[in-house]
Amino acid sequence: MINFTEEQLERYSRHILLKDVGVEGQERFMSGKVLIIGAGGLGAPAALYLAAAGVGTLGIVDGDKVELSNLQRQIIHFTEDVSIAKVVSATQKIQALNPDVKVNAIQEHVCASNIRDIIRGYDFIIDGTDNFAAKFLINDACVMEKIPFSHGGILRFTGQTMTILPDQSACYRCIFSAPPPRNAVPTCSQAGVLGVIAGMLGTIQAAEALKFLAKVGTLLTNSLLTFDALEMDFRKLVLRKQANCRVCGEHPIILELIDEEQPVCDLKNS
């Protein structure tokens, strides 16, 4: 039981008024631990909304520094933050928005050797990364550690997301068994993205995290939500957990984590 201060009762009053959240749901937010991997387009809105919601612990993982070209969509970073570490910039905004939130800032890129230690102990993970190597790594690590997570991807005017409950619902590898060939798929840094698409998708991921913590509603499991903002067309595609999935199937062949080849998205190194 959390004893709310008067200030907290006021700050979270719109949650407490919500029939499906209430005091109990708010308590769950406040004792919840969510890890956001990537403080970029998806991670920025997710971090801000989860901080505003009073999620007790927010972990932020990112090894990059803020660049001017990030500011078109990564709304947690401001002009004055250019060239400082993204995790530092994000931590400052989160603390300014809601001092109740404990922030774990991890200035690293996830890789096979560190990810399991980084994600362990969190209730829910948000994948806000920009490359397939990281997306598959996060999927496999969350399946192995049995930590629920939200997958997200954006490109141009479109986005896709699904929520994975390891052992219970289809995972990312059930749909895509392996990363695409290098440079087969255009990425945001090559093909561009409308900034607000990141906000649309990242807030859906944050909503899933909050639903999971409060134990309300139906999570976006066994379905891939895709949208095309040009037509404002949303589609939910029903999927099944695949018995022959290489990581979560009946006879998994991926038993330990490996670093896939160099990230497809990284124009700087290609």
For residue 58, which of 69, 70, 71, 49 has the smallest C-alpha distance?
49
Instruction: For residue 150, state whether it binds another protein (rule: CB under 8 A).
Output: no
Give the phi and the psi of residue 152 in degrees, each rounded to 5. Answer: -145, 145
H/E element, 37: strand 33-37
Which residue number, 23 or 71, has a Cβ lying nearer to another protein? 71
Please give the single-letter amino acid code of residue 210.
L
Q: Which of residues 84-103 bind another protein (CB under 8 A)?
A: none
Longest Cα separation, the chain: 55
| CB-CB contact of 30 with 99 (8 Å) | no
Q: Which of 25, 38, 45, 148 binds another protein (CB under 8 A)?
A: 38
Q: Using CB under 8 A, pick the residue from 160, 168, 203, 221 that binds another protein.
A: 160
- The answer to whether 173 and 245 are in contact (CB under 8 A) is yes
Euclidean distance between CA atoms 215 and 116, whole angstroms: 25
Please calculate the CA angle 238-244-245 and round it to the nearest 5 degrees: 65
239 lies in the binding site for another protein (CB under 8 A): yes
Rounded Cα distance between 82 and 69, Å, is: 9
**Residue 238 sits in the site that holds another protein (CB under 8 A):** yes
Check binding of 198 to another protein (CB under 8 A): yes
> Is 48 one of the binding residues for another protein (CB under 8 A)?
no
CA separation for the pair 31, 3 (Å, rounded): 12
Closest approach of another protein to the CB of residue 15, in Å? 27
Rule CB under 8 A: is residue 182 a binding residue for another protein?
Answer: no
153 in contact with another protein (CB under 8 A): yes
Considering only residues 30, 34, 39, 171, which one is a binding residue for another protein as defined by CB under 8 A? 39
The distance of closest approach from Cβ of residue 128 to another protein in the complex, given in angstroms and rounded to an integer, is 5
Q: Which of 129, 150, 163, 223 binds another protein (CB under 8 A)?
A: 129
Nearer to another protein, 27 or 130 (CB): 130
Which residue lies nearer to another protein by CB, 21 or 87?
Answer: 87
The residues, any chain, with a CB within 8 Å of residue 75's CB and separated by 6 or more, are 44, 45, 48, 199
Give the interface segment with another protein, choosing from 25-33, 184-192, 209-217, 250-258 (CB under 8 A). 184-192
143 belongs to the binding site for another protein (CB under 8 A): no
CB atoms within 10 A of CB 166: 17
CA atoms within 13 A on the CB side of 240: 3
Judged by the rule CB under 8 A, the positions of this chain that interact with another protein are 38-43, 62, 64, 70, 74, 127-132, 135, 152-155, 158-160, 174-177, 180-181, 184-185, 187-189, 193, 198, 224, 226, 235, 237-240, 242, 264-265
